[in-house]
Amino acid sequence: LDSEVLFIDYCEVISTIVAFTRDGFIFHLTKGSAEGRCAERVKVKLGGKSDDYRMQLNDGMLVMSYGAREVRIWDLVREENGTLALEANKGFVVDEETINVVTVNGKRGVITAATSRNNIAEWKRRRQDAHIETAWQLSPCTHLDSPISLIRWSPVLSTCAVITDDTLVLFGENNASVKMRGKVAAIQTSSNSFTLLNAATGVSQDLKLTIPSARGISLGEKQLVVWSDDTGTLRQEISLPKSEGDPEMLEINKNWMAVATTNGFIRIYNLNSRDAQQEHNSKYVVENLKNFYKFHTIKINQTGNKVAVTYLEDVSTVAELLLVFDAETDSISSFSFDKGMTDTQEYEAQAELAHTSHGRPVTAAARKM
């Protein structure tokens, strides 16, 4: 791509990467013919300032706010798009009010947005209406006392989390249990399901425990403590060595959990048995990086043997490298978005160039980055 990527996500329903760049283009990218390359399927220029756009993709539904009186909605599966506007008869001041952030729960058919006047706008899908713009009905507005910075729907039940300047507000189910410690909230969403939410960054992680019916939760400095009436005892507490730092991010995929720490370590746990078991040795994945501030995102594959991470070089700069930890070989590989190639491809290109220039291949030592 020719410009900085401001938003990127993967739509599993149609196996497509959706990216939005600083120059205002939105791309749909599919698997290309060459390994590690993408093929451009759709390229569309969006109006307005790219910095004003806020996007979310869920279950094939892409929603966008851009500081206007409406939100854009794009059904990637049906290849339809349109806009949803605020309405005065629902309590909104349409001549003065703009939409700042938006979220969508595609499976439940709900789009929720926050406005400049601290109002919540919610559209619900009417399934009998096939047209994309008339299929969504706006509900009366809900007002909050503080400016809203982030809003997200739970992926597991009808609960929406709204983060304001000073509070975390949940809309939806009344029986959700919430505990907060510092900027982290633990939300019990069912008898044995939980969501950890960082109120500062908006990053959330879902956990499902083997406890059949949890009755209470508590957040420690490094642990989520869960108990039930049946046992009255703590089922499991996972502690990390002081040298690895505090757990900063979690990712669960099937029966595997990846943990990233504040000191640059990655841990992998097998959740298949009653207690979570560490499957491989901890890996210090940032050893050869020049600048590392903290991890930015983390993903683990379904077989639990590879973890991909991005990271911040300083407080606000996302590094251009994607790091991949292969637990079976205990190795770290990388992909450079600036160069458009992996570290292996870069080494092979340099080796070929050196062979052409000097008549002999370079040594393996040149592979070290």
More confident residue, 188 or 120: 120
Judge if 104 and 26 occupy the same domain: no
**Cβ-based burial of 282 (10 A; exposed 0-12, middle 13-18, buried ≥19):** middle
Could you report the per-residue pLDDT of 75-93, keeping only the tens digit for each? 998 888 999 999 999 999 9
Same domain, 163 and 104: yes
- Are 26 and 79 found together in one domain? no
Confidence class of residue 364 from pLDDT cuts 50, 70 and 90?
very low
- Integer Cα distance of 183 and 197 in angstroms: 8
Last residue of a domain, one of 138, 173, 208: 173
Please report whether residue 336 resides in a domain. Answer: no
Whether residue 365 lies inside any domain: the answer is no
Which pLDDT does position 174 carry in this prediction?
A: 43
Residue 213 has pLDDT above 70, yes or no: no
In this structure, which amino acid lies at residue 131?
H
Poorest-confidence range of 12-21, 99-108, 188-197, 211-220? 211-220
Beta carbons of 264 and 220 less than 8 angstroms apart: no
Lookup result for tokens 């507490």: 237
- Residue 303 predicted with pLDDT over 90: yes
Q: Is residue 156 part of a domain?
A: yes
Tokens of 27: 């791309």
| Pair (37, 93) in one structural domain | no
The per-residue pLDDT for range 275-291, each reduced to its tens digit, is 888 989 999 999 889 89
Percent over 90 (pLDDT), the chain: 39
Most confident option among 13-27, 236-250, 335-349: 13-27
85, 158: one domain: yes
Residue 18 backbone dihedrals phi, psi, to 5 degrees = -110, 125
Q: Which of 11-25, 27-41, 205-219 has the lowest mean pLDDT?
A: 205-219
> Is a pLDDT exceeding 80 seen at residue 148?
yes
DSSP letter for 176, please: -
**pLDDT mean over 312-323:** 88
Give the DSSP letter string of 184-249: EEEEE-SSSEEEEEETTT--EEEEE-S-SS--EEEE-SS-EEEE-TTT-S--------GGG--EEE
What phi and psi values does residue 355 have, to the nearest 5 degrees? -65, -40
In a domain, 353, yes or no: no
Burial 117-142 (b: 16+ CB within 10 A, else e): ebbbbbbebeeeeeebeebbebeebe
pLDDT at site 301: 93
Residue 284 lies in a domain: no
How many domains does one find in the chain? 2
Q: Is residue 136 part of a domain?
A: yes
Instruction: Please return the burial class of 360, using the count of CB atoms within 10 Å of its CB with bins 0-12, 13-18 and 19+.
Output: exposed
Q: What percent of the chain has pLDDT over 70?
A: 81
pLDDT reported for residue 180: 65
Cβ atoms of 216 and 227 closer than 8 Å: yes
CA distance 88 to 121: 12
pLDDT in tens, 31-62: 877 777 888 899 999 988 999 999 999 989 99
Domain boundaries, position 155: 72-173
> For the chain, what is the mean pLDDT?
82
Of 173, 188, 222, the position where a domain reaches its end is 173
**167 belongs to a structural domain:** yes
Residues 89 and 162 in one domain: yes
Residue 33 inside a domain? The answer is yes
